[in-house]
Structure 1
Amino acid sequence: MKRVTLTEIFLHPITQKYLKRSGVAHAIATAYHAYRLALQYGVDVDLATKAALLHDIGHYEWYSNGKWDYEKYKQNDIHAIKGAARAHKLLIRLGEHPHHAKEIALAILLHTDSYLPEGELKRKPLQMVVKLADEADEEPGGKHHYRQIDDKLALKKIQKLDEMVEKQMMMQKLDKIV
């Protein structure tokens, strides 16, 4: 089975539609944080960067009187649930290994606990990496969703991250052989 790249995922119309809604710059920054954290915690960089890139594709726009309503969003949001389902469907459609698509979807589902009842949630390492990566790029009042990035620069950053992931995966394969 071939590896579905971040570039393929990023360029897909579904991804473009929902990342533009939730913030392309935030998604890319979160994917880079996930790469770094995955190395730090011994988590699969391919799965971590994909989950981080797609973590907010379930966002719904909460507006009141034509303006973003952050409080309404915080009270009513279930973007992690919607995003997990969208990401899973997209990844399967692109040819991602079904087990990997499920792991990525679960990491997206659990990247936030804003919609969950109070209490501690025990996350697997991949899920924790995506949560920490998202938190590393957050700004007060949801401002991280509104940072802008040029389309060409965004694609270059995704392609560079793809190269980094590919190189890391090759190094891990070599380590297993040696």
Structure 2
Amino acid sequence: MSVTLVTIIEHPIAQKYLERSGLNHAISVAEQALTLATQRGLDADTATKAALLHDIGHYEWYTDGTWNYDLYRQNDIHAIKGAERAHKLLIRLGEEPERAKEIALAVLLHTDSYLPPGTINRTPLQQLVHDADTLEEQPGGLHHYEKIPFEEAVNRLHALDSVVHRFNNLPRLASEN
């Protein structure tokens, strides 16, 4: 686990896109993802990275410096843009290519807002990111408006990185391998 959540948020590209789409929401979804990953026996590192980056494609839906939720709902392709951005960012930061692809696909398929209903058959990781995002949603997209000081964001991600590191280093039962 060389690429951490803090490493991701300290990159200017992540800051640009995640601050605009709701950094507090992204971190809250990553925190939910850790809980769900531990409950479901999934890789916490991959889950939290995918959850943190799940809305990195939202940047386009700003008008006069504020989030335009109505415009977003009409024209949403944020998951498509986000998957590409997440993949490029993770590769640039040194993430393993296979893991970067898995995370990008979870970003792509965390929502079906750009697809006909009922057309997604998600992997467990993709479903986890979808579920974590759903747990943090608020009516009218209010979750995208909540602000958080950058220092607090880094502190929360540092704490999350520490828990992920401890969780991923726990010995697994033979049945889990």
- TM-score, normalised via structure 2 length: 0.92
Quick one: percent identity of the two aligned structures? 59
Per-residue CA distance 1:58-78 (angstroms, 9 max, x = gap) = 113435688644222111010
Change (3 A) 1:97 1:68: closer
Q: In 1, are the aligned partners of 2:29 and 2:136 still within 8 Å (CA)?
A: yes
Greater Cα shift, 66-75 or 38-47: 66-75
Change (3 A) 1:67 1:154: closer
Q: In 1, are the aligned partners of 2:31 and 2:48 still within 8 Å (CA)?
A: yes
Per-residue deviation at 1:149?
Answer: 1.0
Structure 1 equivalent of residue 146 of structure 2: 147
Per-residue deviation at 1:152?
Answer: 1.3
Per-residue deviation at 1:170?
Answer: 0.7
Q: In 2, are the aligned partners of 1:55 and 1:111 still within 8 Å (CA)?
A: yes
One-letter code of the match for 2:55? Answer: D
**Distance in structure 1 (CA, Å) of the matches to 2:152 and 2:9:** 13
One-letter code of the match for 2:5? Answer: L
**Distance in structure 2 (CA, Å) of the matches to 1:66 and 1:7:** 26
Per-residue deviation at 1:153?
Answer: 1.1
Change (3 A) 1:70 1:96: same
Structure 2 equivalent of residue 85 of structure 1: 84
Per-residue CA distance 1:69-105 (angstroms, 9 max, x = gap) = 4222111010000000000001011110100000000
Per-residue deviation at 1:150?
Answer: 1.5
**Distance in structure 2 (CA, Å) of the matches to 1:67 and 1:129:** 29
Per-residue deviation at 1:3?
Answer: 2.0
One-letter code of the match for 1:46? Answer: D
SS of alignment partner, residue 175 of structure 1: coil
Structure 1 equivalent of residue 97 of structure 2: 98
Q: In 2, are the aligned partners of 1:61 and 1:68 still within 8 Å (CA)?
A: no
**Distance in structure 1 (CA, Å) of the matches to 2:62 and 2:5:** 31
SS of alignment partner, residue 169 of structure 2: helix
**Distance in structure 2 (CA, Å) of the matches to 1:79 and 1:110:** 11
One-letter code of the match for 1:45? Answer: A
**Distance in structure 2 (CA, Å) of the matches to 1:58 and 1:14:** 11
Change (3 A) 1:149 1:67: closer
CA RMSD of aligned residues (A): 1.7
Unaligned runs of 5+ in 1: none
**Distance in structure 1 (CA, Å) of the matches to 2:118 and 2:13:** 33
- TM-score, normalised via structure 1 length: 0.92
Change (3 A) 1:77 1:7: same
**Distance in structure 2 (CA, Å) of the matches to 1:72 and 1:106:** 24
Per-residue deviation at 1:56?
Answer: 0.5
One-letter code of the match for 2:100? Answer: A
